[in-house]
């Protein structure tokens, strides 16, 4: 390449100007200007598709790594906490497991629970979605565990509001009434409502209390791929218990209609 360059000399300086997009006076100005010319309509033909993709991404729950890590951290913490409490109470009460477990998990509960499923399904993503399709009846006789009151509260709030007054007549709640000070629905509700949920209501007695709520995190369906692969890596970790089977747990899909509670 000798002869062409003789008639079209280009030094570094000219090249730098061309690269910067400055007018250099060189004939290449025109070529590069054409290469950087304003868009044609044809070139922007994909705009609608791009916008659709953007909207779809915007409507998908935020795939932020930080929040999902936070979420799994919360999940772990919960798991631990519930497991500890569960160990303490598992010996006594068998049948209450489901209900207790459900209510045990803290979350942005918007309202006092009328039924178990209502708060569970309304809770945010950190709250396990869980439906209790049958009302678990306490199978065991009351024993005076420190958390007995909490369990009674839990049981009590499982009742529909309009059946609670009647439920208080049940001798089973005698202890609760005594603690609350009065056999009055509102009084008891207030009493129970003032108790910190996450620690006192945690008494579950799942047959396998080790991983009491793993199945409550069936998946993170709102996690698209890409940056969230980490979640997939964490989940097997969570399920390290492996054989924990969701047997005592009804389907993870929560819908209020499937969990009427003890309606009569």
Partner 1 sequence: MVAPEGLDAVVQAAQRGDEEAFRLLYRTQQPALLRYLRVLVAEDAEDAASEAWLQIARDLRNFSGDWDGFRGWTATIARHRAMDLLRAQRRRPQASAPVEFLTELSASDDTADRAMELVTTDAALALIATLPPEQAEAVMLRVVVGLDATTTGKILGRRAGAVRTAAYRGLKQLAARLPPPAPQRPPEQRRTSAWTNPVTTSAAAALKEMR
Interface residue list for partner 1 (CB under 8 A): 1, 3-5, 7-8, 10, 12, 15, 18-19, 21, 26-28, 30-40, 43-47, 49-51, 53-58, 62-65, 224, 226-227
Kindly state the smallest distance separating residue 27's Cβ from partner 1, in Å.
5
Report the residue number, 63 or 88, with the smaller CB distance to partner 1: 63
Cα separation of 162 and 139, whole Å? 23
Burial, 177: exposed, middle or buried (Cβ in 10 Å; 0-12, 13-18, 19+)? buried
Report the residue number, 65 or 208, with the smaller CB distance to partner 1: 65
Rg (CA), the chain: 31
What's the token pair of residue 13? 């300086």
Cα separation of 201 and 113, whole Å? 13
Report the residue number, 43 or 162, with the smaller CB distance to partner 1: 43
Q: In this structure, are residues 83 and 183 in contact, taking their beta carbons and an 8 Å threshold?
A: no
Which H or E run contains 34?
helix 28-35
Report the residue number, 45 or 144, with the smaller CB distance to partner 1: 45
Report the residue number, 216 or 223, with the smaller CB distance to partner 1: 223
Cα separation of 80 and 74, whole Å? 10
Kindly state the smallest distance separating residue 133's Cβ from partner 1, in Å.
37
Q: In this structure, are residues 209 and 84 in contact, taking their beta carbons and an 8 Å threshold?
A: no
What's the token pair of residue 222? 């709102």
Cα separation of 102 and 42, whole Å? 56
Cα separation of 150 and 201, whole Å? 6
DSSP secondary structure letter of residue 144: -
Report the residue number, 1 or 144, with the smaller CB distance to partner 1: 1
Kindly state the smallest distance separating residue 60's Cβ from partner 1, in Å.
8
Kindly state the smallest distance separating residue 162's Cβ from partner 1, in Å.
43
Kindly state the smallest distance separating residue 107's Cβ from partner 1, in Å.
25
Kindly state the smallest distance separating residue 41's Cβ from partner 1, in Å.
11
């Amino acid at each position: 390449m000798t002869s062409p360059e003789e008639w079209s000399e280009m030094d570094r300086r000219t090249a730098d100007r061309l690269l910067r997009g400055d007018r250099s006076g060189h004939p290449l100005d025109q070529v590069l200007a054409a290469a950087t010319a304003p868009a044609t309509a044809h070139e922007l033909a994909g705009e609608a598709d791009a916008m659709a993709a953007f909207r779809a991404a915007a409507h998908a729950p935020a795939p932020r790594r930080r929040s999902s890590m936070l979420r799994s951290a919360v999940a772990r913490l919960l798991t631990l906490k519930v497991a500890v409490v569960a160990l303490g109470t598992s010996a006594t009460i068998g049948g209450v497991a489901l209900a207790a477990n459900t209510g045990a998990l803290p979350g942005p509960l918007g309202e006092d629970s009328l039924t178990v499923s209502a708060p569970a399904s309304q809770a945010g993503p950190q709250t396990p979605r869980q439906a209790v399709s049958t009302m678990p009846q306490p199978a065991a006789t009351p024993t005076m565990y420190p958390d007995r009151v909490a369990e009674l509260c839990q049981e009590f709030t499982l009742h529909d509001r309009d059946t609670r007054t009647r439920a208080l007549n049940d001798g089973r709640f005698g202890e609760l009434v005594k603690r609350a000070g009065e056999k009055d629905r509102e009084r008891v509700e207030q009493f129970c409502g003032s108790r910190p949920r996450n620690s006192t209501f945690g008494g579950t007695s799942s047959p396998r209390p080790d991983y009491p709520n793993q199945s409550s995190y069936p998946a993170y369906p709102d996690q698209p791929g890409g940056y969230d692969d980490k979640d997939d890596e964490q989940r097997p970790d969570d399920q390290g218990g492996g054989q924990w089977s969701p047997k005592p747990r009804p389907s993870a899909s929560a819908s209020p209609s499937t969990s009427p509670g003890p309606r009569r």
